[in-house]
Chain A
Amino acid sequence: MILDDDQKLIRRILKGDRSSFEKLMHQYNKRMFNFIYRMVRDEEVAVELTQDFFIKIYTVIQKYNFQYKFSTWAYRICYNLVIDHVRKNPVYVDSLDQNPLTRKQLARTDQVVREDGFSVLEKREMSDYIWSVVDRIPEKYRHLILLRYQQGLKYDEIAGVTDLPVGTVKNRIFKAKDLIRKEISQDGMSSQ
């Protein structure tokens, strides 16, 4: 059986090599922290949940099945941990319908003054604006957008992590993108 880099590390962890666990943790820390942070929107909680995630990984690592990709298994654990937390502690933010924060407002917030308005906003600003809209879409769409675009998972991997059929994953991601599109359209903006 050919093992990938993650699986080689896990083999060493199972033999009691602490430094391999440190390496694995270092590799996944940024990804998991950012996923959790975007879901809970509270740095302190994100730090705690990221720590709980790594503790959980270490305590159940002997249950990992080498036939599957480690990252999918890890994301599944992280996803369950975060979803569990979010459902017990709902995050109340302005929905898209209640208080739409326009790109113009965001530009003003960032003290970006443009003579010809939104059409000349830089790509970075446009991206930040779109991700701020992601923060306000319903949770059932948000985590799929995060897994797809922030974490770079494929549709079938997302289906494996979330236990949803691939068709549902694709459909919800489309609906999420359509929600975001309508939001930027309401502001009268497309990049072209």
Chain B
Amino acid sequence: MECPPNETLARYSEKSLNTVESALVRDHLIHCEACRGRVNEFNAVDEGLSRPRMLTPPLEIEKSVLRRLFPVLPTYGAVFAFVAASLLLLITWIYVYFDFANNSLIQAMQVTSNRLFRLMGGLIQGISTIFSGVYAGFKAISKLLSALTNINLPGEIILLGIFILTVGTVFAASRVFPRKQRGQSQSRAL
């Protein structure tokens, strides 16, 4: 038998010849050292290829895909901050509108003999004092801004601006620091 072509030897090596073809090659190999050498080489190639080194992909792949497909929802902290900021804005507006610090009803509550009324009056007065301080701060910023830039913005607008800025910052932070994905290992091994 003449030396079989390399393709036949390769197929013999990967055991994809039929029984007859395989027997013919086997008989030939007994007395042909050159073909035996080539079969050994094909065996080595097959064996080497059967053990590919697999890398562990970086964790960022799955995280990044999820971030791109499903934008992260605001965290509980962000929702809480949003509600708190809204409440703060609402109470300030009520305080400014009704002028609680000088309201006669509140003053009357504070001088009544009923302990509960006195307590409530004191509480409202306390909150009013804090808000009047905060509001005075905003008015001061407004005056300063007006002096520096000739732009006359009322304190309420500045308050609204700060409110929007706060909410925006909280939302941006919740996007930058999303909640951790579960069930992902930290290893990166070969």
Question: How many angstroms between the C-alpha atoms of A123 and B47 in the bound complex?
Answer: 8
A126 contacts across to B, CB distance below 8 A: 44, 47-48
Contact in complex: B55, A22 (CB < 8 Å): no
Which one of B41, B56, B58 contacts A184 once the chains associate, using CB atoms below 8 Å? B41
> Contact size class for A?
35 or more
Does A130 interact with chain B (Cβ within 8 Å)?
yes
Min CB distance B148 to A, Å, is 47
Known A127-B53, A181-B42: A25·B65 in contact at CB below 8 Å: yes
By secondary structure, the A interface counts as helix
Min CB distance B39 to A, Å, is 9
B53 contacts across to A, CB distance below 8 A: 127-128, 131
Most buried by A among B37, B56, B57: B57
Contact in complex: A130, B65 (CB < 8 Å): no
1/0 per position for B62-106, CB-CB distance to A under 8 A?
Answer: 101110111000000000000000000000000000000000000
Stretch touching chain B among A28-36, A66-74, A80-88: A28-36
Question: How many angstroms between the C-alpha atoms of A70 and B116 in the bound complex?
Answer: 71
Which one of A22, A51, A134 contacts B64 once the chains associate, using CB atoms below 8 Å? A51
1/0 per position for B21-41, CB-CB distance to A under 8 A?
Answer: 000000000000000011011
Nearest chain-A residue to B58 (Cβ)?
A47
Nearest chain-A residue to B38 (Cβ)?
A181
Known A34-B54, A177-B10: A192·B62 in contact at CB below 8 Å: no
Question: How many angstroms between the C-alpha atoms of A150 and B55 in the bound complex?
Answer: 11
Contact in complex: B50, A149 (CB < 8 Å): yes
1/0 per position for B91-135, CB-CB distance to A under 8 A?
Answer: 000000000000000000000000000000000000000000000
Contact in complex: B10, A178 (CB < 8 Å): yes
Known A30-B54, A33-B55, A51-B68: A191·B44 in contact at CB below 8 Å: yes
Contact in complex: A177, B42 (CB < 8 Å): yes
A171 contacts across to B, CB distance below 8 A: 7
Nearest chain-A residue to B62 (Cβ)?
A25
Contact in complex: A50, B57 (CB < 8 Å): yes
Does A55 interact with chain B (Cβ within 8 Å)?
yes
Question: How many angstroms between the C-alpha atoms of A67 and B49 in the bound complex?
Answer: 31
1/0 per position for A83-120, CB-CB distance to B under 8 A?
Answer: 00000000000000000000000000000000000000
Contact in complex: B40, A26 (CB < 8 Å): no
Known A129-B48, A174-B7: A33·B57 in contact at CB below 8 Å: yes
A25 contacts across to B, CB distance below 8 A: 62, 65
A22 contacts across to B, CB distance below 8 A: 62, 66, 181
A161 contacts across to B, CB distance below 8 A: none
What are 29 A-to-B residue pairs whose CB atoms are below 8 Å? A22-B62, A22-B66, A25-B62, A29-B57, A29-B61, A33-B57, A33-B61, A34-B54, A47-B58, A51-B65, A58-B69, A124-B51, A126-B47, A126-B48, A127-B48, A128-B53, A130-B44, A130-B48, A130-B49, A149-B52, A150-B52, A177-B42, A178-B10, A180-B45, A180-B49, A181-B38, A184-B41, A190-B37, A190-B40
A residues with CB within 8 A of B: 18, 21-22, 25-26, 29-30, 33-34, 37, 43, 47, 50-51, 54-55, 58, 123-124, 126-131, 134, 145, 148-150, 171, 174, 177-178, 180-181, 184-185, 189-192
